[in-house]
Amino acid sequence: MSDNVRVAVLFGFGINCDRETAAVFDMVGGSSERLHVNHLVQGNRSLEEFDILAVPGGFSFGDHLGSGRLLGNRLRFALREQLQKFVSSGKPIIGICNGFQALVKTGLLPGPENASLEPDLIQRASLTLNNTGRYEDRWVTLEFDSDSPCIWTKGIQRIECPVRHGEGRFVMPTDVELDRLSTNHQLTVRYVDPSTESGSGLSDDLLPFPMSPNGSMRNIAGICDPTGLVFGLMPHPEAFYTMWLHPEHTSMKLNEDEWEGSGLQIFRNAVEYVRSQR
DSSP state of 68: T
Query: Minimum distance between the CB of residue 42 and another protein, rounded to whole angstroms?
Result: 8
Among 31, 131, 157, 203, binds another protein (CB under 8 A): 131
Cα-Cα-Cα-Cα dihedral of 169, 172, 173, 178, to 10°? Answer: -130
**Residue 181 interacts with another protein (CB under 8 A)?**
no
**Residue 63 interacts with another protein (CB under 8 A)?**
yes
Q: Which residues neighbour 120 within 8 Å (Cβ) at sequence distance 6 or greater?
A: 107, 111, 112
Compute CA 93 distance to the chain's CA centroid, rounded to the nearest angstrom. Answer: 8
Query: Minimum distance between the CB of residue 89 and another protein, rounded to whole angstroms?
Result: 26
Instruction: Give the number of other CB atoms < 10 A from CB of residue 46.
Output: 14
Residues numbered 132 to 161 that lie near another protein (CB under 8 A) are 132-139
**Residue 221 interacts with another protein (CB under 8 A)?**
no
Query: Minimum distance between the CB of residue 102 and another protein, rounded to whole angstroms?
Result: 13
| Whole-angstrom distance, CA of residue 13 vs CA of residue 5 | 26
Among 5, 47, 125, 181, binds another protein (CB under 8 A): 125
**Residue 64 interacts with another protein (CB under 8 A)?**
yes
Query: Contact at 8 Å (CB) between 212 and 143?
Result: no
**Residue 250 interacts with another protein (CB under 8 A)?**
yes
Residues assigned a catalytic role = 97, 236, 238
Stretch that binds another protein, among 84-92, 148-156, 165-173, 265-273 (CB under 8 A): 165-173
List of E strands, 169-273: 169-171, 189-191, 220-224, 230-233
Residues numbered 10 to 49 that lie near another protein (CB under 8 A) are 11-17, 19-20, 23-24, 27, 36, 38-39, 42
| Whole-angstrom distance, CA of residue 98 vs CA of residue 175 | 25
